[in-house]
Amino acid sequence: MNIKLVPGNSAGTVTTYYLRSEGSTWDEIDFEFLGNLSGDPYIVHTNVYTQGKGDKEQQFYLWFDPTKDFHTYSLLWNPQRIIFSVDGTPIREFKNLESKGVAFPKSQPMRVYSSLWNADDWATRGGLVKTDRSQAPFTASYRTFKADACVWSSGKSSCSSTSPSQNSWLSQELDITSQQRLKWVQKNYMIYNYCTDTKRFPMDLALILDLVFTSIFPYDNPCIIFPCVRS
């Protein structure tokens, strides 16, 4: 999806683009764009819900002004991973770590949604900056929506009847270059990561062991490995 975010003083507003299933134990994959005062950076807030439980936020600044032009925000969701990308650069990978006891959204069909709402109780500087309603209407623009998906209908997935080559996204993963770009974003633009928020989620033994293990065997960025034990 191409999105151009609310220009000028957008503080207090949240523009969203997300996937969500139905019911009280829903799954959800979120892009939320937290507005700001003119000239101050927008925050891209991402979250993943499984079975109605979220608490998996990661937040980023962008390397451009998202109110000046359209940029592409995409979600890859397949059985192995969820990848959030901006202009083709991955900013977050949420791996399927069911083997480590972390639930992964896999069994409920989701629809695409979008909205623009007032969240001035928390969105901008933790709620300090309020929405200036004299700036209304607040307008975000969307264009060129494109989806490749398995369509669920009458208890059947449309993908079972098509050839695997038409659905290469079903097994898509990050190549080496994309992994390097992901690390670049996480190093330079990530401003919040639930994985390392030990105030909010005190460390349990499993988490400490996992941390020790990944520092002895640094096979990956701990920020990426960390969520493995956060369920």
Residue 10 Cβ vs ligand NAG, minimum distance, rounded to whole Å:
9
Active site residue 98: no
Residue 59 Cβ vs ligand NAG, minimum distance, rounded to whole Å:
9
For residues 7 and 109, which CB has a smaller minimum distance to ligand NAG in the complex?
7
Token duo for residue 176? 């080496």
For residues 41 and 222, which CB has a smaller minimum distance to ligand NAG in the complex?
41
Residues in the chain: 231
For residues 45 and 230, which CB has a smaller minimum distance to ligand NAG in the complex?
45
For residues 50 and 131, which CB has a smaller minimum distance to ligand NAG in the complex?
131
Amino acid residing at 152: W
Q: Which residue has the tokens 């996204």?
A: 169
Exposure string over 143-154, b if 16+ CB within 10 A, otherwise e: eeeeeeebeeee
Exposure string over 8-34, b if 16+ CB within 10 A, otherwise e: ebbbbbbbbbbbbbeeeebbbbbbbbb
Binding site for ligand NAG (CB under 6 A): 34, 36, 40-41, 43, 123-125
Query: Among 32, 57, 93, 98, which one carries the catalytic annotation?
Result: 32
Residue 123 Cβ vs ligand NAG, minimum distance, rounded to whole Å:
6
Question: DSSP letter at 135?
Answer: G
Minimal CB distance residue for ligand NAG: 40
Residue 8 Cβ vs ligand NAG, minimum distance, rounded to whole Å:
14
Taking the CA of residue 146 as centre, how many other CA atoms within 13 Å lie in the half-sphere pointing to its CB? 6
In 3-state terms, what secondary structure has residue 191?
A: strand
Query: Among 28, 57, 93, 173, which one carries the catalytic annotation?
Result: 28
Q: Which residue has the tokens 């993943």?
A: 48
Q: Which residue has the tokens 């892009």?
A: 31
Residue 90 Cβ vs ligand NAG, minimum distance, rounded to whole Å:
22
Active site residue 173: no
Between the two ends of the chain, the Cα-to-Cα distance in Å is 29
For residues 124 and 193, which CB has a smaller minimum distance to ligand NAG in the complex?
124
Q: Which residues are catalytically annotated?
A: 28, 32
